[in-house]
Each structure stands twice: as structure tokens, then as C-alpha cells.
């Protein structure tokens, strides 16, 4: 089974079609709701884009945590509406290629919908929930952000499954060098730290990283960043005290929920 067939199979399976709560995937009211908003067993949408003169199928809202480039915030505009929210305009060179209106882009790990495209820039809407859940509300003109397009069906799966649904923000507590690499210590709420395991995956501002250590007593985990990665993502531009978007590996959540449901069934059967 080739990659396209495997992804198509996963797309039809429960793993990618469970009910998704509204989290950080932001779609302004003028854009029709896509599966990113949740719903009853909605399939992952497949989008077609043009790349190097050829049409490529993309599995919308499936990311891998491999940052394609850093974009620059050109404008942050508060929406004067009852819903509130913000429009953000970002300049890019790589990720804007082949993008169409309604496509999904991960910005600092947050799944957002393209609402407008101009020369070298695209616009996204940030809903109030997105502003509460992520660090995007702290962006300013000139801020750098990590960008990743949704996975092409024939693309390499270089990281891990990233939904673009930010769970929480973490706080950088330490940045320490070791030879030419950098150690980062991130504090997150304990309710999410339980899903973080040593040598497991975690998404930090949209980048797929390997956890080096977990210290439950301090509610922190660590990861190491090599020079190549540091030059490719915006984490290297941050300092102690800054906020980063965190998405834990979804697999742990599913396992916990299944076990809890089975436990409840067992308890109820004994009553």
C-alpha cells in the first residue's frame, strides 16, 4: 500500500473522523464551516492545489509539524463586529504557492483558513476562542511565525500527526546551550503534561519535536534544538518568559478516553 492509499485509508477511519471540538482552528463567520469545527464523523476534506504546474491533492487539516518557512506578520486588524476577532495578514514565499481560498495553513501550529490572497500575502481570521487558546493574539506587525501547508497526499510524512488544534500555551522557563545545540524547558498545565512522555512527540509553535525529559513536579518538559532546526523555526527568536503554542500527541487522549469508557462500563456492570 503506497502513501496515498495509506492516507486515504486513515482519512476514512475513526482516527481522523472523530468528533472534534472547536479549539484553535479559526474560521471567520463569512467562511463556511469545514471539518475543522467538529461535527458528527465528518471526513477530512481533500483540497487540490497547483504545484510546479501539476495538481496535487492535499489532506486539508492534516499537518506533520515540519515547518516549511517563517512568515512575517504584515498587519493585525481588529474586527469591528459582534463576534469580535482579528484579521491577520502574513507575507510568505513558499507556503503561499498553490494556496487557494478556504485552504488550511498552520500558523504557529494553529489551523487557520485562508480568507484572502494578495501578492505575496494571505489573510486569516482569528476567532475569539483562537485568541484565548493560542499565542497569536500577542503577535504584532513584524512578528515571525512558523508556517506549514496541509499535507499533500503524495508528500513525505516527516514529523507526526498534527491537527492544528492548540491545546494550551506553554511558558519558556529556561534556554540553555550545550555545544552548538540549545535546551528548552517549557512549563505547561498538568492537565496536558500527563500526555507528554519521554522520547514522545510534541508540537511547539507548530514544530514537531522530540521530548527529552518530563518533570512532573515542576510541570515542565524539555527538548533540544539543533542549529538547523533553530534556523528554520521561530523558537530561536523567543526568550525566557515567552509563550509557545502546545499541541500534545492526540494518541494519548484517545487511549485515555477509551480506557475511561471501558472502566465506567465495568463499574456500571457491577452495580
| Residue 55 in this model has a pLDDT that exceeds 70 | no
pLDDT of residue 40: 29
Are residue 234 and residue 118 in the same domain, yes or no? no
Cell representation of residue 162 = 498534527
Is 127 labeled as catalytic in the residue annotation?
yes
Domain assignment present for residue 260? The answer is no
Among 95, 121, 152, the domain-final residue is 152
- Among residues of the chain, what percentage have pLDDT more than 90? 65
Are residue 110 and residue 174 in the same domain, yes or no? no
Is 232 labeled as catalytic in the residue annotation?
no
| Residue 12 in this model has a pLDDT that exceeds 80 | no
pLDDT of residue 61: 62
| Residue 24 in this model has a pLDDT that exceeds 50 | no
Q: DSSP H helical segments within 127-195, as ranges?
A: 128-133, 190-193
- Residue 1's pLDDT band, with cuts at 50, 70 and 90, is low
Are residue 54 and residue 103 in the same domain, yes or no? yes
Terminal Cα distance for the chain, rounded: 47
| Residue 50 in this model has a pLDDT that exceeds 60 | no
Q: Which of 210, 231, 260, 261 is catalytic?
A: 210
pLDDT of residue 200: 96
pLDDT of residue 83: 65
Higher-scoring residue by pLDDT: 43, 123: 123
Q: What is the mean pLDDT of residues 90-109?
A: 95
Are residue 141 and residue 192 in the same domain, yes or no? no
Number of domains in the chain: 2
pLDDT of residue 34: 40
Query: Structural domain of residue 200, as residue ranges?
Result: 168-255
pLDDT of residue 82: 60
Domain assignment present for residue 185? The answer is yes
Are residue 101 and residue 216 in the same domain, yes or no? no
> CATH number, domain at 120?
2.40.30.20
Summarize pLDDT for 76-90 with one digit per residue, the tens: 998 766 667 899 999
Is 169 labeled as catalytic in the residue annotation?
no
CA distance 207 to 138: 19
The answer to whether 211 touches 196, Cβ cutoff 8 Å, is: yes
Q: Which of 69, 191, 62, 76 is nearest to 140 (CA)?
A: 76
Q: Which of 63, 124, 221, 223 is catalytic?
A: 63
Higher-scoring residue by pLDDT: 44, 224: 224
Is 157 labeled as catalytic in the residue annotation?
no
Are residue 117 and residue 245 in the same domain, yes or no? no
Is 165 labeled as catalytic in the residue annotation?
yes
pLDDT of residue 271: 55
Considering the chain, what is the average pLDDT of its residues?
82
Q: Which of 113, 185, 203, 229 is catalytic?
A: 113
Q: What is the mean pLDDT of residues 238-258?
A: 96
Are residue 75 and residue 183 in the same domain, yes or no? no
Q: Which of 26, 104, 123, 169 is catalytic?
A: 104
| Residue 166 in this model has a pLDDT that exceeds 60 | yes
Among 117, 152, 187, the domain-final residue is 152
Domain assignment present for residue 67? The answer is yes
Are residue 12 and residue 146 in the same domain, yes or no? yes
Q: Which of 73, 133, 140 is nearest to 109 (CA)?
A: 133
Summarize pLDDT for 171-214 with one digit per residue, the tens: 999 999 999 999 999 999 999 999 999 999 999 999 999 999 99
Domain assignment present for residue 25? The answer is yes
Q: Which of 160, 165, 168, 234 is catalytic?
A: 165
Domain assignment present for residue 269? The answer is no
Domain assignment present for residue 261? The answer is no
Q: How many CB atoms lie within 10 A of CB 111?
A: 30
Q: What is the mean pLDDT of residues 152-170?
A: 88
Are residue 122 and residue 215 in the same domain, yes or no? no
Domain assignment present for residue 195? The answer is yes
Summarize pLDDT for 214-223 with one digit per residue, the tens: 999 999 999 9
pTM of the model: 0.77
**Which residues lie closer than 8 Å to 98 by C-beta, 6 or more apart?**
49, 50, 51, 56, 149
**Which residues lie closer than 8 Å to 43 by C-beta, 6 or more apart?**
11, 12, 16, 17, 35
Are residue 83 and residue 147 in the same domain, yes or no? yes
Are residue 14 and residue 133 in the same domain, yes or no? yes
pLDDT of residue 216: 97
Among 83, 118, 152, the domain-final residue is 152
Are residue 144 and residue 221 in the same domain, yes or no? no
User: Per DSSP, what are the bridge partners of residue 112?
Assistant: 26, 105
Domain assignment present for residue 48? The answer is yes
Amino acid at each position: 500500500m503506497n502513501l496515498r492509499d495509506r492516507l486515504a485509508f486513515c482519512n476514512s477511519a475513526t482516527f481522523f473522523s472523530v468528533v472534534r471540538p472547536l479549539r484553535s482552528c479559526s474560521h471567520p463567520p463569512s467562511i463556511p464551516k469545514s471539518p475543522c469545527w467538529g461535527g458528527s464523523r465528518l471526513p477530512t476534506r481533500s483540497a487540490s492545489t497547483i504545484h510546479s504546474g501539476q495538481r496535487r491533492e492535499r489532506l486539508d487539516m492534516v499537518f506533520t509539524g515540519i515547518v516549511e518557512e517563517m512568515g512575517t506578520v504584515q498587519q493585525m486588524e481588529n474586527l469591528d463586529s459582534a463576534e469580535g476577532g482579528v484579521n491577520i495578514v502574513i507575507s510568505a514565499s513558499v507556503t503561499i504557492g498553490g494556496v487557494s481560498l478556504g485552504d488550511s495553513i498552520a500558523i504557529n501550529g494553529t489551523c487557520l483558513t485562508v480568507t484572502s490572497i494578495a501578492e505575496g500575502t494571505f489573510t486569516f481570521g482569528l476567532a475569539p476562542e483562537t485568541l484565548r487558546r493560542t499565542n497569536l493574539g500577542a503577535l504584532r506587525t513584524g512578528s515571525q511565525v512558523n508556517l506549514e501547508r496541509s499535507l499533500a497526499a503524495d508528500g513525505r510524512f516527516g514529523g507526526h500527526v498534527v491537527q492544528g488544534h492548540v491545546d494550551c500555551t506553554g511558558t519558556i522557563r529556561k534556554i540553555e546551550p550545550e555545544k552548538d545545540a540549545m535546551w528548552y524547558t517549557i512549563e505547561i498545565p498538568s492537565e496536558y503534561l500527563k500526555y507528554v512522555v519521554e522520547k514522545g512527540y510534541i508540537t511547539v509553535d507548530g514544530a514537531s519535536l522530540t521530548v527529552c525529559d518530563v518533570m512532573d513536579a515542576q510541570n515542565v518538559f524539555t527538548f533540544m534544538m539543533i542549529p538547523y532546526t533553530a534556523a528554520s523555526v521561530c523558537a530561536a527568536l523567543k526568550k525566557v518568559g515567552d509563550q509557545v503554542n502546545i499541541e500534545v500527541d492526540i494518541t494519548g487522549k484517545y487511549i485515555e478516553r477509551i480506557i475511561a469508557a471501558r472502566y465506567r462500563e465495568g463499574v456500571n456492570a457491577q452495580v
